[in-house]
A and B are shown apart, each in its own frame.
Chain A
């Protein structure tokens, strides 16, 4: 279980300190799928990096299973917006990375993961030969091989076209339902947030804070066209319309 209490984060800037996160409080149960949405500067990526242990300069309590997060590690898998594969390793070696592929147990798990992320036949391909969507699936498999307690995804499908994105959303839900890994998924795409999450955390900037958490009580697999989906989508959207500034859609990775 992930427990965040009274989390504050400030960045030093030439014009004085900027409050990136203000008094964040959030509890995530084991196996939940949480999506975070908000305009740029709302601190959603910063929050994810703190949970990952990549960013450790903060005030407050951030605990995973009762233990404070002190640094990055394989128990907190992280998927960046770009796949960040090692260009000199082929697909299966990228997934194994620093783990020995000649260990039969790891070999078997890598093969299973390649099956799971639907990359059979591309085991020996190099990153330059992969499409953006395929490369991101390799990155997901690389994180899953370490059996993370929690998987943190920072706008992982933001750079992909709409069809690939829809496909990967389904792949990710498949993985989640099979592995029951806790998922924290940051996005700026409203449909993506509602389609994936059991809860949608809506964040606002200046200072970055949680505005509201909306439960998405729809069974999986979800249909994007159904009446209830549209209803919930409208509810999330209306949360944004209460805030005049800044506009809903942000441009890129945020802070």
Chain B
């Protein structure tokens, strides 16, 4: 009991320490803008942003567009990430597949979103398809690269063990290679999700009439800076929440890991 309470207290203190800088920035920001030291149109005071947030929440505007954006990001992530996982496994398992596919994929990996977005819009129109494909293109590569690496970095010594224990080929894959690659795959998932949000913003800013990216882009044309800030903050929150969820799943599934405990 005593120890539990101590742990909780330490956690609370850690959280407070982490909040110090953001809080200080907010206070200075509020003082600076309410005293007119900065241009309130370019940098609106936190109070205005909060009011705007409340207004957009109440009107349903925020949640409707967040739902649309989340849906796009999720679809794009599932499509791109799923293909990345499959390709990473395939290339990881097969030297032939590596020689055939990896050079081309590495070439495509370096293409920036902004460079290909106009092409995707021309090919697939302004509808959902072009957006989801753009997001999928981004989500593909982190999962591909990390799955590939994970499969290739399995401890060689354990393969000797698998041979001595007469693992079948299928057992070698499911009971040795996949579990050993799981930490890398999880890292890939986290990076892919982050890239999905990036792709989403690009896709929605390039041409869209809904979604968080559209709200930001639309607010820009009317110089509604507080709306832009609301959009940015929502992106930050959603990004952090999804990442925390994946990390929670990771810590549950990879409890066996001999980590140095730097994350606690």
Contacts and interface: CB of A to CB of B under 8 A. Distances in A.
A127 B179 CA distance: 15
Query: Number of contact residues on A: which range applies?
Result: 20 to 34
Interface in B113-172: 157-158, 160-161, 163-168, 171
Given A54-B160, A128-B258, A98 B167 contact: yes
A82 interface: yes
A160 interface: no
B5 interface: no
Contacts, number: 61
A89 interface: yes
Nearest to B155: A84
B166 A84 contact: no
B91 to A, nearest CB: 23
Interface in A48-85: 52, 54, 71-74, 76-78, 80, 82, 84
A95 to B, nearest CB: 11
Interface string B246-259: 00000000111110
Interface in A97-128: 97-98, 126-128
Overall SS of chain B's interface: helix
Given A80-B157, A82-B157, A98-B171, A87 B164 contact: no
A35 B165 CA distance: 23
A98 B164 CA distance: 12
Overall SS of chain A's interface: loop
B166 A73 contact: yes
A193 to B, nearest CB: 24
B175 interface: yes
Contacts of B160: 54, 72, 78, 80, 84
A87 B166 contact: no
B176 interface: yes
Contacts of A54: 160, 163-164
A86 interface: yes
Contacts of A88: 179-180, 182, 254, 256
A146 interface: yes
Contact of A146 (B161, B165, B179, B257): B165
Given A82-B157, A86-B158, A128-B256, A74 B179 contact: no
Given A86-B179, A126-B256, A52 B171 contact: no
Contacts of B176: 86
A82 to B, nearest CB: 7
Contacts of B164: 52, 54, 72-74, 76-78, 143
Interface in A140-191: 142-143, 146
Contacts of B179: 86, 88-89
Contacts of B258: 87, 127-128
Contact of B157 (A72, A73, A84, A127): A84
Contacts of B167: 97-98
B256 A87 contact: yes
A91 to B, nearest CB: 12
B255 to A, nearest CB: 7
A87 B176 CA distance: 10
Given A86-B176, A88-B179, A142 B157 contact: no
B175 A98 contact: yes
A97 B175 contact: yes
B257 A87 contact: yes
Interface in B23-62: none
Nearest to B160: A54
Interface string B63-101: 000000000000000000000000000000000000000
B262 to A, nearest CB: 15
Contacts of A78: 160, 164
B255 A126 contact: yes
18 contacts: A71-B163, A72-B160, A74-B165, A77-B164, A78-B160, A80-B161, A84-B157, A84-B161, A86-B161, A87-B256, A88-B182, A88-B254, A89-B256, A90-B256, A98-B166, A126-B255, A142-B165, A143-B164
Report, nearest first, the 4 A-B pairs whose CB atoms are least far apart. Answer: A128-B258, A88-B256, A88-B179, A72-B163
Interface of A: 52, 54, 71-74, 76-78, 80, 82, 84, 86-90, 97-98, 126-128, 142-143, 146
Interface of B: 157-158, 160-161, 163-168, 171, 175-176, 179-180, 182, 254-258
